[in-house]
Amino acid sequence: MSVNRRDFLKIAGMAGSSLLAGAPGRSEAAVAGVEFYGLLIDTTKCIGCRSCEEACNEQNGLPEPEVPFDRESVFETKRDTSPGAYTVLNRFPNEKDPDNPVFVRRQCLHCCQPACASACLTKAMEKTKEGPVIYNKDRCMGCRYCMIACPQDIPKFEYGSAFPYIRKCIFCYDRLKAGERPACVDACPEDATIFGTRRELLEIARTRIYENPDKYVHHIYGEHEVGGSGTMYLSAVPFEQLGFRTDLGTTPYPEHTSGFLYGVPLVFVLWPSILIGLNYLAEDRNKEKNHEEEG
């Protein structure tokens, strides 16, 4: 799409929003210079022990897992997160080193400009200033638009319940506010998942790649994907082989709809005036016609 059109709408939109309440706001996450917290997950260090899954389960009071945490058989099928599991570990073959399969944790990436939060009409999904994307369950109306929007398909819905909620990782937000790290970080015996500010983590990630150029693919998943995310990954094999979507682009998702939203105040100002104008013209025309018919 042409940049000009969008820029035009933005300028027009800003003019409009000063006139009208309810004009679209920029995603609060877009505010530059905020130190978001995040996680760096180094898949080369992960040994597949599922300690993170177990810690997450305990922390969030989730139901017993289908396959106990000490059972290896769980890796025979690819699992997805679910209302009962906010993080799951999957095993992928390693083409570089067939004896050492790769284990990858899958959970919410806490995008810098989250699609889920920009989709949510009640602010139940909310990007906090610390970085985590949290879920205010009392506001949610269960429309599941966040699920449509999330590029990673992370929010999960409790279809089996008459009083359902959306479920996903919330970065142990309560622990974070109490000055603690997320439970999964504390549980990881290999430091495969580490905690820090996004800036620090990016530095660590880059350093690791520079120091071991042959070991890692030269890409940090989550640095730029859909505008960047709080949780980022390092890997030894290309990310598309690990079940990551690599076709998402770098545009933050809220920008896909901001053009439309900026156009809204415009229509609100222009349409009524145009309609009233047309109405005058039409009345004139009818009057003239009647006149002619009479005359």
Chain residues binding other proteins by CB under 8 A are 1, 22-27, 80, 82, 115, 117-124, 136, 138-145, 147-149, 151, 153, 156-165, 245, 247-249, 253-254, 256-261, 264, 267-268, 271-272, 275-276, 278-279, 282-283, 285-286
Q: Are strands 231-234 and 37-42 parallel, antiparallel or unpaired?
A: parallel
- What's the first-to-final CA gap in the chain, in angstroms? 55
Question: CA angle 12-14-16, nearest 5°?
Answer: 70
Count CA atoms closer than 13 A to 226's CA, side-chain side.
Answer: 25
CA distances from 293 to 39, 62, 164, 194, 284 (A): 79, 80, 67, 85, 14
Q: From other proteins, ligand SF4, none, which one binds at residue 209 (CB under 5 to 8 Å depending on kind)?
A: none
128 binds ligand SF4 (CB under 6 A): no
| Least Å from the CB of residue 94 to other proteins | 24
Kindly identify the residues of this chain, within the stretch 34-63, that bind ligand SF4 according to CB under 6 A: none
Q: From ligand SF4, other proteins, none, which one binds at residue 75 (CB under 5 to 8 Å depending on kind)?
A: none
Q: From ligand SF4, other proteins, none, which one binds at residue 210 (CB under 5 to 8 Å depending on kind)?
A: none
CA distances from 124 to 19, 98, 143, 158 (A): 27, 44, 11, 16
142 binds ligand SF4 (CB under 6 A): yes
Q: From other proteins, ligand SF4, none, which one binds at residue 168 (CB under 5 to 8 Å depending on kind)?
A: ligand SF4
Closer residue to other proteins (CB): 51 or 90: 90
Window contacting ligand SF4 (CB under 6 A); options: 4-12, 152-160, 198-206, 214-222: 152-160
- Separation CA 146–CA 122 (nearest Å): 11
Q: Helix 3-19 vs helix 254-294: angle between axes, to the nearest 10 degrees?
A: 80
- Separation CA 50–CA 105 (nearest Å): 9
Give the interface with ligand SF4 as residue ranges (CB under 6 A): 108-111, 114-116, 119-120, 122, 124-125, 133, 140-146, 150, 152, 154-155, 166, 168
